[in-house]
Chains A and B, each alone.
Chain A
Amino acid sequence: MATVKILYFGSIRDITGCSTDTVTDCSTIGEILEQIIKRYPAIEGIRYQISLNRQLLPHPAPQTSNLKPQTPNPKPDTRYPIPADGDEIALLPPFAGG
């Protein structure tokens, strides 16, 4: 069971009201997501990708817009790495640089 640091960005930060969080007693990325969504159910309405230690985790399709959700958010995936103590996981809404 690991304790991981969670980072929120963009529109997700408006929902959580904070930029960082902690999830404890988790053994998979899926469990971490479940805990986060239980705390902030409105996150389910936002498209996002997940990064682990600043590396994007694979996702079936790129997200292109907050406004027109086209593909579902990542679901627990058995190919995802097992989280370790101190890992940094971020929920990343569609990028909008430039």
Chain B
Amino acid sequence: MQGPIPAAFIAEQIGRHSDKLNIGAHAFFLGQVRSDCVEGKTVTAIEYSAYEEMILPVVKTLKEDLFNRFSDLVCLHIWHSIGVVKAGEASLLVIISTGHRKEAFQALEACVELIKEKLPVWKKELFSDGTARWI
């Protein structure tokens, strides 16, 4: 999605699962832009860009992988920001829903690691003095 992930959007997504009665656990990951200090300069925002046409096939493969590994997985959802997200705002939301809590935690960690490794997304730190760097 363009820009930060609003808190109201997160609540709305949680509410959408109330009709799936085989779910017993949700696990969430919410990535937030951190205001790091790099060589005396403060990060005020991160600008995300992506190879958007490649994201859908990558996510499809990622989901197939996780559904094969975690038999208790009911559904999983991923939202990632594109564009500028200010420090303190959310840029990645992952919702994992399972029958029981154990696989919710395991699948969540596996999913976030796969996102970090496989998703064609890039980020540029924007500093308070107007400079920037790719990370």
Contact = CB atoms under 8 A, between A and B. Distances in A.
Interface residues of B, number: 24
A40 to B, nearest CB: 16
B118 A11 contact: no
B98 interface: no
Contacts of A67: 135
Contacts of B116: 95, 97-98
A51 B57 CA distance: 13
Interface string B88-132: 000110000000000000000000100111111111100000000
Contact of B134 (A10, A51, A98): A10
The interface size bin for chain A is 10 to 19
A93 interface: yes
A62 B117 CA distance: 9
Contact of A66 (B92, B112, B135): B135
A13 B122 CA distance: 11
Interface string A60-92: 001000110000000000000000000000101
Interface in A10-38: 10-11, 13-14
A91 to B, nearest CB: 10
B53 to A, nearest CB: 6
A92 B80 CA distance: 18
B49 A10 contact: yes
Residue among B31, B50, B122, B135 having the largest count of chain A Cβ atoms under 10 Å: B122
A66 B134 contact: yes
A97 B115 contact: yes
Contacts of A13: 49
A7 B122 contact: no
The 5 closest A-B pairs by CB, nearest first: A97-B121, A10-B122, A11-B134, A97-B119, A54-B54
Interface of A: 7, 9-11, 13-14, 51, 54-55, 62, 66-67, 90, 92-93, 95-98
Given A51-B51, A51-B120, 7 more contacts: A92-B51, A95-B119, A95-B122, A96-B134, A97-B116, A97-B119, A98-B116
